[in-house]
Each structure stands twice: as structure tokens, then as C-alpha cells.
A and B are shown apart, each in its own frame.
Chain A
Amino acid sequence: MQTKAFFLQALTPVHPGTGQVSGSVIDLPVAREAATGFPLIPASSLKGVLRDGRADEAANKVFGSLEQMGELTLTDARLLLLPVRSYAGTFALITCPLVLQRWQRDAEALGLSSKLSQPSITGEEALAGSAIQYNNQVILEDIDLKVKGSSEALAKAISGLLFGKEEPDLMERLALVSNDVFSYFCQTGLEVIARVRLESASKTVASGALWYEEAIPAEAVFSSFALAKDAAHFAELHRRPYLQIGGEASVGRGLLRVLGGV
């Protein structure tokens, strides 16, 4: 079995919906992992979009058919980097030790030799890039974190995985925050979009027709793994320059580009 790690970068906000959920103050929330509450793109959404309705023999072989299982396996795309509004540098791309540890564990389990450095951080501290520091602090929305050190080594490793080279934007913006702070922003740092339905005659909001939708913000990066008997099947991941995943496609949500090649 061949394995490939790949990444998806959101070019516009992404809404991998779950339908209406009664346990949220948001009417249409995004899909989340049960244990961590981190947003994710289900593998089934990813696979459906990569296949894009093809039913020819070649597509059946790679993606499967009623008679036979496909030869390409995809995992859920987990959140790797979350953009969060920053006082300095406009926005930071945050990640946390738990996210890095899980990626490394999974990569090793699937036989990949790629490594991500595993710095630790706890409490109200952060490792940060140069663009997002202000007065030795990283000020993210309403949370202030003390800069404990540079995120350069980690940014270099992640840049290598995503772009195959050092990417200046990521080098300057990356912040490693504690698991608790990451978790907090996964709940409170997503986009909340108000939608309404208008009465066609009066063009006023119909009674009770206001609802709120959640979206993972543009610039977020997700990580996923692909497994296949034949490495040629990985070409399916890069068949198009971008993918549209999740709901609200007609209002521009869910455009992602595929990155990485380890």
C-alpha cells in the first residue's frame, strides 16, 4: 500500500455542514470531530468532489462502484492551521501540540517518513512568527498570549510539507498555541454568517426567516492522507487546480486548493 499526505487550503470560507443541530446556538453549524470539537471535512465529501459524478470504468476502479470497493482511500481532512484575527499582522495561522502530535502519529502509522517538529506550549504562551508579535505578545481576537519564542523551525517544517519550500506568509504568521486556546478558537473563531429570506413583494425579512450559518474561514489549512495500491491513483488529487467542497457553493463557499506532495 502506498501513502500520500496532502493538504487543502481554503480560498473562501468552507461550510461542510451537518444539517440542523439542536445542540448549537448556530442554526447550521459545520462538521466537527466528536472528541475534540475541531472542524473537519468528512472524507466522504472529499471523495465525492474528487470523483465529480464520473461513472466510467477507470473512475469505478479508483473510487469504487456498487460491485467493488475503490482502490483509493481517503481520510477525513482535519484542521491543521486556523486563521484567527490578530492585532499585529492582520491574522495569525494557529495550530497546537495536539494537532501536530496526531498528524505525526498518523503519518508514522501509515508508513510516511516525513517529520513535523513537536514543540510544546501550555497556558497563555505562544511560539510566534515575526509579523504577528506586538510588544512581546500575540493578541488574538480577545485573548492575549505571551511570546515564549519563535515559531520559525515549526513554520519551516510545515511550509516544507505544504509548499515544498519556505513560504514567507506562513513563516511570519504561524503561532503555536496551547491545546485549550486552539480549542477555544475552534468554537468561537469561525465565521458566523446571518442569512435571511425576504418576502418577495415587500423585500422585507419574512417572519422568523433569519438564520445563522457557520463557516471555517478562508486561509484555513486541512490535512488528509490518501492510501492506494497504485501510486498513480494519487494523480486524482491534483486533477483540477481547485475543488469546491461543502454547502453554499452558489455564494462562493468551499473553494479549496490542494497542496503538498509527501
Chain B
Amino acid sequence: MPQTRNQKDMKRALELVSSLEQADPELKRIYGGLCHSFPVMVLQSGLCQAVAFSADKASGEGPRARAHQKLLEHLGAILEVEGDLLAHLHEAPTTAYMHHTRRVLEAWVYFKRFAKSVLKVEAGGDDEGR
């Protein structure tokens, strides 16, 4: 019996978020904050700008860069894109881009929930959007 998209998203989000449960507390805190703020950034600025923001932050060292790397990795997993996500988004036709945006918004409902219940990170942490 095939599963609904919501069932698959929930399972995937739980696996991906739980993979950070034992991670460095600072990485966990920043990643959890991003789970809350990222979909809002997508709504306010568009998927490309939100991903470009994370790609920029992911380029350095330390827990903040690693949190953004994880976010990009998890976005790729949900969108089923291997390799450079930003390059893929740049080249996607408008219809595919609109579809990707809506997929991310749909799936990130679960990332938000699990950031709270699994990683114990509430919305409003001081690292959101940084």
C-alpha cells in the first residue's frame, strides 16, 4: 500500500532531525533554530534567497556553519536533489521551482515540530535567521 506524501515527509524529517540528537549542543541549538526560521525566510524572500543565505553561512567553520550544512543536506534529501542544491535551483524551470518551494513549505512543518519535540529547541532562539 503506497504511503501519503505527509507520511513520507514525517518519517524522513524524524530520521533527519533525530540524526542530530546526540550532536554537539551548540550545533543542535542552531540547527533547531533554523528549522523554525527557514520556512519563514522562504515565504518572505523566496527559496533561492533562503538557500543562498544558508549556503553562504555553511561555507565557514564551527557549529553555525555545520548547522547550515546540515540544513542544506536535509533540504536536498527532501527535494531529492544530489549535489549542489543552489545550482540545481538556479537552473530549475519556473514550474519546478514553484513545486520545490511548496514541497519545502509542506515538509518543514515536520522539521519545526521535531526541532521542538526531539531537539527541544523552541521558536525564538537567538540564532534564528543568523
Contact = CB atoms under 8 A, between A and B. Distances in A.
Interface in A186-239: 187-188, 190, 192, 194, 196, 205, 207-212
A210 B123 contact: yes
B55 to A, nearest CB: 16
Given A124-B94, A207-B122, A187 B102 contact: yes
Query: For this complex, into which size category does the number of interface residues on chain A fall?
Result: 20 to 34
B105 A25 contact: yes
Given A25-B43, A142-B46, A192-B43, A208 B105 contact: no
10 contacts: A22-B109, A25-B39, A143-B97, A180-B98, A181-B98, A184-B98, A184-B101, A184-B102, A187-B105, A188-B46
A187 B124 CA distance: 23
Contacts of B128: 210
Interface of B: 36, 39-40, 42-44, 46-49, 94-95, 97-98, 101-102, 105, 108-109, 112, 122-124, 128
A166 B46 CA distance: 34
Given A181-B98, A187-B102, A25 B40 contact: yes
A135 interface: no
Given A142-B48, A180-B98, A211 B43 contact: no
A177 to B, nearest CB: 11
A208 B43 contact: no
Nearest first, the 6 A-B pairs at minimum CB distance are: A210-B124, A208-B122, A25-B39, A142-B46, A184-B98, A210-B123
A192 B122 contact: no
Contacts of A180: 95, 98
Contacts of B42: 188
B94 A205 contact: no
A194 B123 CA distance: 11
Nearest to A194: B40
